[in-house]
Amino acid sequence: MVGSELSEVRRVRRWRSVTEKRQIVHLTLEPGASVAEVARAHGVNANQLFKWRRAWEGGDLSDGSPALLPVQLSSPVEALEAALQEPVSDGGSIHIELAGSVRIRVERGVDLELVRCILASVKK
């Protein structure tokens, strides 16, 4: 009879979304907040909540969406022209490595039309 009573008391594991975990973690970060009290209020084991906090601090408790960074697009030729127009000390050169082990070395004073042709042929 005791065994049947224990099976009825057994808790069902609740699945929490990443957003919900983050919200609960943020409650523990408020000044004067108690992890034990926040855990109890949300039906979470305090040890589990500490694990979520470590995950949040390590950046592992993200919503899965990638962080967006500002991007400025330019053609390879425009970028190369801009780099060649900037002052370079000691002669200078540009080394370009592309996928497929293509390496291009551009020395200062090179003909830009020749560089355009080379980059166009590599692009194909």
CA distance 119 to 115: 6
CA distance 82 to 115: 13
pLDDT at 43 over 70: yes
Q: What mean pLDDT comes out for the span 36-41?
A: 94
The token pair at 9 is 């008391």
Class at the top of the CATH hierarchy for domain 13-67: mainly alpha
- Summarised one tens digit per residue, pLDDT across range 27-38 is 998 899 999 999
pLDDT at 50: 93
75 or 66, higher pLDDT: 75
Q: How far is CA 94 from CA 18, 77, 82, 84, 110, in A?
A: 46, 13, 12, 8, 11
Q: What mean pLDDT comes out for the span 44-70?
A: 81
Tokens 């990638």 found at? 66
Q: Are 115 and 80 in contact (CB under 8 A)?
A: yes
As a residue count, the chain comes to: 124
Other beta carbons less than 10 A from residue 61's beta carbon = 17
Q: Where are the chain's structural domains?
A: 13-67, 76-123
- Summarised one tens digit per residue, pLDDT across range 74-101 is 677 777 777 667 665 556 677 777 666 6
Of the candidates 112, 115, 111, 108, the one whose C-alpha atom is nearest the C-alpha of residue 91 is 108
pTM: 0.44
Q: What is the 8-class DSSP label of residue 30?
A: S
pLDDT at 27: 93
